[in-house]
Each structure stands twice: as C-alpha cells, then as structure tokens.
Structure 1
Amino acid sequence: MWPEIDKVEKENRHEIILSGKEISSRITKDGLDHKLFTLNFLNYLNIHETELSEIPDAISNLCNLQTLVLHSNKLEEINVNVSKLNKLKILDLSRNFLKCIPESFSNLPLVTLNLNSNQLNCFPVFTNAVKLTVLDLSNNNLKHFPICSKEMVNLTELKLQGNEIEEIAHNINILPALKLLDISNNKLKTLPGELADCLKLKDLNLKSNPILDRRLMKLIDQCRTKQVLDYVKQHCPKVVTIENAGNTKKKTKTKQNHDVEEESSIDYKYNINVKAATDEFKVLIMDSVKSVREHFVACIVDNVSFTEDTFKKFIQLQNRLHDTVCEKRNLATIATHDFNKLPPGNLTYKTALPSELMIKPLNRATVMTGADLFSKLQTEANNLRKEKKRNTYSGIHKFLYLIERKPEYPCLVNSKAEVISFPPITNSDISKIEVTTTKIFLEVTSSASIHICKTVLSTILKDMVLLFEKDIEVQQVKTVDQSEQLKVVYPSKTDLIFEKDVPIKVNRK
C-alpha cells in the first residue's frame, strides 16, 4: 500500500491529495494503488500534476466523494463511472487532453464543473444540472455554443474564452441566473438580440472576436457590459416569429404590472442601508493568490450592537453557513474582524510560505508560523479523535485538508503587515470580534468564483438583519489588483437582491 493511502486509512481521514514526481512515477509504473478505491469514506480526492492517463472503474466505490480534483494530468477520456458519484459537487478536470465528456454527467449534483484547457470539440446537453453554478469550458476546441438548458436555473458563470465558437445560442436568455459570460477570443461575427434579455448579466467579455459591426466592436473594447447590452438590445435582431413576438410583448407587460403591484404590497420590516466605498480604505489583491485561493469579497457592517445572546447566535450563524451555503468550506470561507481593532490603512490579500506566515491564531496566546499551526492542529485533531473514539475530525480540524501540501498559504494582512486572516483555517486573535464590537469587517474567500463569495455575503447580511431584528448599515469595500484596477466592489447595485417574501428593503446612497 502507498504510505499516503495507508496514513489516510489508519487515521480514517476524509481527504487525500496525491501529487508530485514520486506519485507520478508510481502511477506510470503500476497505476494507482487499488487500495485507494476501498476508502469509501473519502469526501475529497485530489490527484494533480501526474502522468495519470486513466481512471479505474473502481472510482464508483468512492460513494461519499463531494470534491474530485484531477487537473493537470494526462487524461484523454474520463471514466463514465464518475457519473455514479451521486454526492459529487465539485469536479475539476482542467488541463488534461479530454475530447468529450459523458452525457451522464448531467445527472451529477454538480455545483462547479471545470473543464478548462482540454481538447473538447463538443459538450452534451445538461438537462438535469439544476444545481450547476459555474461551468468553465475555456481554452478548448468548441465550435458550437453549448446548448442552453432551461433546467440550468442556477448557472451564474459560463466561461468559454479561447474556443472557436462562431455564434452565441439564440436561446441564451433561458438561463435566468447568468451573471458572467466570457466568450472572448472566439470567432463571433454577430450577436443575438436575446443576449440583452439576460437580465442579470453584469459581466460580459466579448473581446478578441471578429465582430462585423464596427461600432459594436468599439463598444466591446472600450465600454462596460451595460453599454454593450444596450446596443445589442437596439441593433441586434432576435430569432422569434411574429406571432411569438406579440405574445412575448403581451406577457412581458403583464409581468411588469404584476411585479409593480406585488412590490407595492410588500411590508418591509427592516432596512439595509448601503453606503458608498471610500478611497481611504480598500483591499489589494496580489497575483499570487490565483494559484491558491483566488477570490475575495468584503464589506463593513456598522452600528452593530450585540448582546450576549445575539453574539452567541451570530457565531452559530457563521458555523451554519460554513456547513450549508459554503459547502463545508469547500466553496467558500467566512471571516469576521473587529474593524476598530485594525490600524488605519489598506489591507492586502496575498500568499506566504508556511514557514514565514506569522499569526496569533484565534483564542491562542502565542504567535506561530503557518506550518507550526498546521502541525499543531493536526496533532490536536488526532488526539481528540482518539480520546473521543471518533472516526472523523471536528471543529476547524476537519478543514486542514484544504491547504495540505500547498507550497504557499493565503493570508490577509493589515497595514502593519500583521496577518489577520488565514483562510480557510482561522482568523487572528488580534482582530477578533467580541460582544463589545460595534463595527465588523466581513470577508469571504473562495477558490471557486466571485459569485459564490457574493452569495455567501448576501446570505449572512440577510441573516444578520433577521437575527438582530433591526436595520443595519453596510459600507461598500473595493478590491483592486496590483495595478490598482478595480476588481470588485461589494455590495454593488446587483447584489443584495432578495426573494419577495424577505421583509428587507435595500437603500443605496
């Protein structure tokens, strides 16, 4: 048995990462250790940067897998038995040599599917992918736009850059949640008018396409999504019959009247008052985090007033969201800080070597390196598991696998270069919130997408209002890249859009 697999089995761990030259040479010589596929308690399997060229049929034995990462290998085809993993939520097959994927993948409960940098020339109809949020098909050989399915009601990010697509599907407007569409560097000459009917589309990248309309091409190169969509709405034809056009117009008018009537009848009990971001405070995102935990979104909640009871419930709220919307921190991680404990100046989100990252972890008395903290937490986890005679880890110990073997760790530092956050593991004790906290800096990080970060933040803000049963004030926070170019501002005008039965009104100044 491979020692890595032996260790996981003995400790009854739920995750395993296999990578590097030694692993690669073993795979080349004898293939994967068959013992791996007896570990049916695994929920996270990561095999990357190896000579792996095929997945054994026994993959279906790993019935509890929620995350399967197989990027940067030598896969030319993917075993159809992967579609039997009926708990799989995240599948990363990027940077392989795949030419197609099975239609049965549509039946998986996937939230994120990454097929970036393969050799795909087609993509199947995903008629059952109701939970799919992020689909990355960039840098392949696709000639046709992936068929839009009305069942894909949660698809918010569709990445198609670097293909050979000649036209966008005319039924793209049946994707009601689509917020990001990147179809740059393809072969588009015209755009369908239906593109303007994607009402939530806020991030559209059409650059490096041979668009025939020169004025449209100029808008694409120089303007933002709204201006481009306004032009598409006015000048690009739709594929719709005259009869259907009349019905559509009538239905739209009816819907608008219904929405106005419905909105006027809502009894708002609480308010979220949004204040604009200031230039005195922002978060700088370093390029190095792209390889570890790329996405970062934040905001400031002001005029907070805790009681002992609401403070306890707020901590419980974070834990609940980590288990639910954050998918046990696989999708995202929440961190909270007492803003008044931060020194004046900007924050920086970057990476550091495990031996150089210095942090005073939450509720601990001493400063230690990231490597020492990881080792200490791992020892504590094993001792606690044996003491309690458990088969699994508890608390933050169960998230250690998310950074295991990472060459660098992500961290958020203040203007004094002190680490205040080490996602997805812990915060620093120097900025921890307490019952006396009146101003909270909220951050969410993710390796999946910006949209997921925003969804988590919107959820926690909504739940905070309902928990406190009072209005709250939220100040926007800007994040910028190393060139000082704006990356994200949250909450923007397209954020904090709640269902009609949520009694919260958002006021923007």
Structure 2
Amino acid sequence: MWLETEQAKNENRHELVLTGTRISERIDSSGLDDHIFTLEELNFLEISKTTLTTLNHGLGNLINLQNLVLRNNKIASLPASIGKLQKLKFLDLSTNELEELPGEISKLTELQRLNVSVNKLTGFPDVSKLVNLHVLEVSHNSLESLPEGLCNSESLGVAEIYASSNEISELPADFAKLASLKVLDLTDNKLQQIPPEMAECTKLREFKFGGNKLKDRRLGKMMDQCTTKSVLDYLRNILEKERQKGGKGKGGKKNKKKTNDTVAEEVEEVMGNFMKVLHFHSEDGLAIRVTENVGGVRPYIVCCVVRHLDFQKSNNLYKRFIALQTKLHDTVCQKRQAATIATHDLASVKAPLTYDAKPPAEITLLPLFKKKEVTAEQLVMKLRKEAEEQRREKKRSTVSGIHKYLDLLKGKPLYPCLLDNDGVVLSFPPITNCEVTKISADTKDLLIEVTSSVNLDVCKKVMDTMLNDMLELGVGCDAPVTGATGDADAAKAAMPSHQCLVVEQVQILNPQGSMKVVYPARTDIMTSAFRVIRDYE
C-alpha cells in the first residue's frame, strides 16, 4: 500500500492527489496502487501528469466520489464501472489517449462538467440522460459531430460547449432548444454553414466559429470582425426572411448574387454598435490622486465613467450585468488574483477621489450589502476565518480558489482603499465595494475602477474586456441608424437599432498632481469588432 493511500485511509481523508514524476515511477515499476479503490470515503481524487494507461474496475467502488481528475496521463481506456459513480459532478479526462468513452458515462446523471479535451475521440456516447450537465469540453479530438442527445436532454441546461479543433461538419437546427447556452466554441472545424436557428439561443454571449470555411461570405467576414450579438442579429434576419417565405431554415439557392457593395453594407449594418469616448475636461472631469503609500501594496489603477446606461430595457438586464462582473472576476481577473473590478453609482460619488493605503485598523468601511461598519482588519480576519472553516469542512489541504485573493494582503502593513472627498471609503480592493456607492437598476452613470498588484497592462486589459462585454450586453443607450438624405433615410434614422456605450476619460494623478494615466487613451480599446469614436480626434 502506498504511503499516500495509507494516510488517506488512517485519517479518513476525503481528498487524495497523486501527481508528477514520482508517481509515474511507481506506476512504471509496479502499477497503480489498487488499494486506492478501497477508499470509499473519497469525494475528490486526482491522478495527473503520470504515465498511467488504464484503470481497473475497482474505480466503481468509489461511490462517494464527486470530483475525478485524470488529466495529463496516457489513459487509453476506462472501465465500464465508471458508471457506478452516481454522485460524480466533475470529470476531467483531458490530455490522454482515449479513442472512445464507455457508454456507461451516460449513467452519470449528477455530472455537471465533463472535460475530454485533447484526446483521440471519434465518437461520443449519448448524453441525453446527463440532465445536470452544464459544461462540456471536447476540443482537440476527431469528432465529426457533437454528442448525440445534446439537444434533447430532459433539462437542456448546458451552458458552455467547447468543441474547437475537431472535424465537425454541421450543427443540428434544433440547437435553439439549448435555452441556457451561453458559450459555444466551434473554432477550427469543417462547418460550411451556421443554422440561422442559432439566433434563438437568447442567452448566447460568446459564439466562436473562426477557422471554418463557410459558404456565406458575409458570415465569413463577420467571424473575426463582429461581436456575438451582431452575428446573432444577422442570423435572426436570415431566419425571419426564410420563415416569411415558408422556408425551414436551411436557406434557398434562389437569391441572386449580390454585389460587393451590398455585402459591405450588410456587414456594416450588423457592425453598427459603437463606443463613443469623451475627452477629459479639466473643469469638470473626474481625477483620482494616487498617494505614495499605495505604491508598495497595490499600485496600479485605471478608471473610467460610463454614461447614459439603461438597465430597464429588460427585466433581467441588471442581473446579467452583475453576473458579467462576477464572470470577469473568475476569468480575466483570475479569481481576483490578477485584478479586481469595482463599480460605483456616479451620482453617489463625491469628487475628487484619492487612492490611498492605510494601516488596516484605521480603515473603517461599510461593506457591500452590510448594515454595520467594520475596520479592514476585522473584515479580513472574518473572511480568513470563514475560508479556514470551509477548508476544514471540505477536508482540503489548502483554502479554495475563491479565497486565494486574501493572500494578496498577507503580511501587508498597509491596505489599499479608494476615498471620496470626505474621506469615506468607497472600495477596499481586492476585498469589497462599499454600500455608499452601490449601484442599482436605476443607475444611469457608472464609475468603473480596476486595480491590480501585477501591472498597468492587466488593469487596461480587464477594463477593455469589461467595456466590450457591456456594449455586447446592451446596457448602453440606443443609437439611431445614421441615414443620408431623403424621406426614406430619415425614417430609417429614427429607428433605434444600434447600441452606443458612452465612455468618459478619467485621469489618475501622481502624488504631485501630474497626470500619471488616462483611460481610455488613444491606444486603448483597439478593436475591429465595433467602431470607437473619440471626440478628441
């Protein structure tokens, strides 16, 4: 019995991680320790970065397993007994040598995330019974189609599908049944057309299909130039026209070939969303002074103001905006390790502002959604206690990823904070925003703050991404289509169909009062996905 196995058994551990060269040497010498499959209390098992080629049927004994991570091995086959893991929620088989999956995979009805990327799969079991599946990752295989049953699952709750670098040649028209789909990556496949019914995936926010040789030249041009919303608008127009003609969504061949000018006009129509950048005005522009104290703690900050927001366009638009901020914290901000975003209702902000750092006991704040003021010292201690309690409850060796950002302040004599003109704390990065400038569905003008301890480019990348996603989400103001002359054009110009996000520059000043950073500068928000109009050019 391996030492790790014996310790897990004697201490009744719920987690076992075996990874790296040392484990490979043991596997090469005498095979994987079969006693692992007697640890029925395990809920987390990871065997990764080894020379493991196969698992025996004893895997099915781990009936309490919820997370099974077998990535970066040389596994060529899986035992049918994997179907006995009825509590399994996360299965990672990425970067192995799998050519097929056992049909028993379809019995894992509690499975929420399945990752089989970077294998040699040519087919896939029926997934219609995986009613709790939210994320499916099958990139870098040899699949000719997406898994059978994906569009007729009882729950249709799949939110993310990553299927790039395969041999997929077509998509089913009933893809629109995936009402919860938010991300679809079909980059580098063999698609020749995209079914216009895709436009009915109303929650789709990220649709990648570059690297496919599409017959529709306009759609091909839009692959790398347009936002997901623009692509879906284009597909929606096609779908509406086909339904008006009594078509079934496959498109006809009766359309006459259009001129290059017509193609360009139609691409421009769906690329009509734009961002307008307002120049900083010294009389009434917002400036934030950075003190010397914060330089050794969290020195990098960029801010901007977004005006004329409208969260009332739909019932859930405000909730989707909050969800967007959460998603960015998990992705581009790397769970707050790289950067942190704070949003403030500009109407509640008392300028000028100061970005400072103070001893933890001297920072008093009212955290978001709280009714009682605390010091930064008390708040961090409370969060660390909660993280440690959760670690013990889960019987893990380290705190969870969502609490890792607390380590950024570990051992720091000063904590960063953004203060208003009265000295009131507006934010305490990377920990929390404050109640005093909390946004709501009625917020019209927004101050966005991004801070980082890494570098300034990280701040700008995060801010660029957030503004891009806000424009795509549709929280900006409606902008009329620009017409030329004539009554017909004037009528068209009165129809709001494009989105405009109005962004105002904010200056960051050094301790002496000289400009240190301005955002967005001329070199920021450089994109071909939409127009950027700068009023100072």
Q: 1:272 to 1:164 in 2, by over 3 A?
A: closer
Q: Measure the CA separation in 1 of the matches of 2:159 and 2:239.
A: 23
The one of 381, 397, 420 aligned to 1:363? 381
**1:71-109 deviation per Cα after TM superposition (whole angstroms, max 9, x unaligned):** 011111122211211111110000011112233323321
Identity of aligned residues (%): 29
Contact 1:140 1:162 in 2 (8 A): yes
Query: Once the 2 structures are TM-superposed, how far is the Cα of residue 402 of structure 1 from its aligned partner?
Result: 6.7
Query: Once the 2 structures are TM-superposed, how far is the Cα of residue 34 of structure 1 from its aligned partner?
Result: 1.8
**1:177-223 deviation per Cα after TM superposition (whole angstroms, max 9, x unaligned):** 00110000111111111111111111011111111222211111211
Q: Partner of 2:127: helix, strand, or coil? A: coil
Q: Measure the CA separation in 2 of the matches of 1:494 and 1:118.
A: 34
Q: Partner of 2:47: helix, strand, or coil? A: strand
Report the AA paired with residue 392 of structure 2: H
Q: Measure the CA separation in 2 of the matches of 1:83 and 1:163.
A: 26
Report the AA paired with residue 193 of structure 1: P
Q: 1:192 to 1:285 in 2, by over 3 A?
A: closer
Q: Partner of 2:16: helix, strand, or coil? A: strand
RMSD: 5.4
Alignment of 1:343-354 (within 5 A): none
**1:390-449 deviation per Cα after TM superposition (whole angstroms, max 9, x unaligned):** xxx954334573759x9x999549xxxx92389xxxx999579xxx997456979xxxxx
* 1:5 and 2:9 correspond: no
Report the AA paired with residue 112 of structure 1: R
**1:443-485 deviation per Cα after TM superposition (whole angstroms, max 9, x unaligned):** 79xxxxxxxxxxxx9xx99xx9xxx9x9897865669858837
Query: Once the 2 structures are TM-superposed, how far is the Cα of residue 14 of structure 1 from its aligned partner?
Result: 1.0
Q: Identify the residue that residue 329 of structure 1 maps to in structure 2.
A: none
Query: Once the 2 structures are TM-superposed, how far is the Cα of residue 66 of structure 1 from its aligned partner?
Result: 0.8
Report the AA paired with residue 210 of structure 1: K
Report the AA paired with residue 172 of structure 1: F
Report the AA paired with residue 151 of structure 2: S
Unaligned runs of 5+ in 2: 250-311, 349-364, 418-422, 452-456, 476-500, 503-537
Report the AA paired with residue 130 of structure 1: V
The one of 461, 466, 488 aligned to 1:484? 461
Q: Identify the residue that residue 132 of structure 1 maps to in structure 2.
A: 133
The one of 415, 419, 434 aligned to 2:408? 419
Q: 1:11 to 1:88 in 2, by over 3 A?
A: same
Q: Measure the CA separation in 2 of the matches of 1:239 and 1:76.
A: 46
Q: Measure the CA separation in 1 of the matches of 2:37 and 2:171.
A: 41
* 1:165 and 2:160 correspond: no
With 145-154 and 296-305 compared, the bigger mean Cα shift is at 296-305
Q: Measure the CA separation in 1 of the matches of 2:139 and 2:33.
A: 32
Alignment of 1:310-459 (within 5 A): 362-363=380-381, 394-398=389-393, 401=396, 403=398, 412=405, 419-420=408-409, 430=415, 439=426
Contact 2:48 2:73 in 1 (8 A): yes
Q: What TM-score comes out, normalization by structure 2 length?
A: 0.56
Query: Once the 2 structures are TM-superposed, how far is the Cα of residue 300 of structure 1 from its aligned partner?
Result: 4.2
Give the number of the structure whose alpha-carbon radius of gyration is greater: 2
Q: Measure the CA separation in 2 of the matches of 1:225 and 1:307.
A: 32
Q: Identify the residue that residue 178 of structure 2 maps to in structure 1.
A: 175
Q: Partner of 1:54: helix, strand, or coil? A: coil
Q: Partner of 1:91: helix, strand, or coil? A: strand
Q: Identify the residue that residue 73 of structure 1 maps to in structure 2.
A: 73
Contact 1:297 1:488 in 2 (8 A): no
* 1:18 and 2:18 correspond: yes
* 1:208 and 2:208 correspond: no
Q: 1:308 to 1:201 in 2, by over 3 A?
A: closer
Report the AA paired with residue 46 of structure 2: N
Q: Partner of 1:208: helix, strand, or coil? A: coil
Q: Measure the CA separation in 2 of the matches of 1:11 and 1:36.
A: 14
Q: 1:129 to 1:297 in 2, by over 3 A?
A: farther
Query: Once the 2 structures are TM-superposed, how far is the Cα of residue 134 of structure 1 from its aligned partner?
Result: 0.8
Q: Measure the CA separation in 1 of the matches of 2:43 and 2:191.
A: 41
Contact 2:343 2:447 in 1 (8 A): yes
Q: Partner of 2:224: helix, strand, or coil? A: helix
Q: Identify the residue that residue 225 of structure 1 maps to in structure 2.
A: 228
Q: Measure the CA separation in 1 of the matches of 2:320 and 2:447.
A: 8
Alignment of 1:27-38 (within 5 A): 27-38=27-38
Query: Once the 2 structures are TM-superposed, how far is the Cα of residue 242 of structure 1 from its aligned partner?
Result: 8.7
Contact 2:321 2:470 in 1 (8 A): no
Contact 2:169 2:190 in 1 (8 A): yes
Q: Measure the CA separation in 2 of the matches of 1:133 and 1:226.
A: 22
Q: What TM-score comes out, normalization by structure 1 length?
A: 0.59
Query: Once the 2 structures are TM-superposed, how far is the Cα of residue 126 of structure 1 from its aligned partner?
Result: 1.1
Q: 1:169 to 1:42 in 2, by over 3 A?
A: same
With 26-35 and 66-75 compared, the bigger mean Cα shift is at 26-35
Q: Partner of 1:101: helix, strand, or coil? A: coil
Q: Partner of 1:484: helix, strand, or coil? A: helix
**1:277-296 deviation per Cα after TM superposition (whole angstroms, max 9, x unaligned):** 99xxx989889x6xx99998
Q: Identify the residue that residue 154 of structure 1 maps to in structure 2.
A: 157
**1:40-64 deviation per Cα after TM superposition (whole angstroms, max 9, x unaligned):** 1111100001111111111111111
* 1:100 and 2:100 correspond: yes
Q: Partner of 2:88: helix, strand, or coil? A: coil
Q: Partner of 1:83: helix, strand, or coil? A: helix
Q: 1:311 to 1:162 in 2, by over 3 A?
A: farther
Q: Identify the residue that residue 318 of structure 1 maps to in structure 2.
A: none
Contact 2:416 2:428 in 1 (8 A): no
Q: Measure the CA separation in 1 of the matches of 2:235 and 2:193.
A: 10
Q: 1:225 to 1:439 in 2, by over 3 A?
A: same
Q: Measure the CA separation in 1 of the matches of 2:102 and 2:78.
A: 8
Q: Measure the CA separation in 1 of the matches of 2:320 and 2:151.
A: 37
* 1:142 and 2:110 correspond: no
Report the AA paired with residue 6 of structure 2: D
Q: Partner of 1:9: helix, strand, or coil? A: helix
Report the AA paired with residue 142 of structure 1: L
* 1:63 and 2:63 correspond: yes
Q: Measure the CA separation in 1 of the matches of 2:229 and 2:450.
A: 20
Q: Measure the CA separation in 1 of the matches of 2:320 and 2:246.
A: 45
Unaligned runs of 5+ in 1: 247-262, 313-337, 343-359, 365-372, 382-392, 445-456, 498-507
